Amino acid sequence: MAIDELLPTSRPRPDRRMRKRSWWRRPWVFPLAAVTIGFLIYALPPYLSLDPATSRLPVPASPVYYPVLVTHILFGSIMLCCATLQVWPWLRRKHLRIHRWSGRLYVLTAIPVGVGGIVVAQFPHGGPMQQVGNTMLGLLLLVCTVNGYRAVRQRRIGDHREWMIRSFALAYSIVANRIWLVICLAVFGFEGPGLVAAIGISTWMSWVVNLLIAEWWLHRRRSPRSPTRTADAAA
């Protein structure tokens, strides 16, 4: 009999370490939820009354604009809440059914959000730059979301996650836009051509920067890992 057979076998306890490691590797989950809730508390109430007089944006004379804007905002609020649930790893591991249903709801709400964004973009307050930027945003949101849905239906889970990460980055451009708008207003001014430039540039920055960060993160995940990191991930 070999000596090794007489020695007691000690089994590592990966669950506790994995829980701690998972939490510290994803410290953005709860701050993201807090930012989403705070943004909705600020942005949503003026449109719940369905009264154009309470709109935060100037309402043009077109009868199409305000109903589409309200639809875009209401469905967008649901979409952001679903996105927060979708990127929560614990929910995906422990409650896969909730993850799947929130994902379906995300896709269903993304369609009117994308189409509504394209329609609203045709009434720009920041000139052609804002019009083109928001139109591109709406189109890309639809493309990324539909591709993500098709990928999961075809069991291509890796492609599904990549497309949905891009979709989430585009969805949260509305939150990032508030930050970029403040920066651009400080640089270009609050009146005349400066105001138009600030609105247009912040529109592009809000989703282009988000998308670049998402692509960087995806590229980083695809890059070969060191043996130590690979072993840790597989543990």
Tens digit of each residue's pLDDT (9 = 90 or more) over 130-154 = 999 999 999 999 999 999 999 989 9
d(CA 50, CA 73): 11
Closest C-alpha among 161, 115, 147 to residue 134: 115
Per the listing, tokens 């967008």 go with 76
In the chain, which stretches have pLDDT less than 70?
1-28, 223-235
pLDDT for position 23: 45
pLDDT for position 27: 63
Q: Provide the H-helix boundaries in 44-189.
A: 45-48, 65-86, 89-94, 96-121, 127-153, 157-171, 173-188
First CA to last CA distance, the chain: 30
Contact call for residues 99 and 161 (beta carbons, < 8 A): no
pLDDT for position 28: 66
pLDDT for position 100: 82
Contact call for residues 46 and 69 (beta carbons, < 8 A): no
pLDDT for position 198: 94
d(CA 177, CA 183): 10
How remote is the C-alpha of 25 from its chain's centroid?
19
Per the listing, tokens 């896709």 go with 107
Closest C-alpha among 32, 116, 117, 115 to residue 81: 32
d(CA 219, CA 147): 18
Compute and round to an integer the Cα radius of gyration of the chain. 22
pLDDT for position 182: 95
pLDDT for position 6: 42
The domain locations on the chain are 29-48+60-234
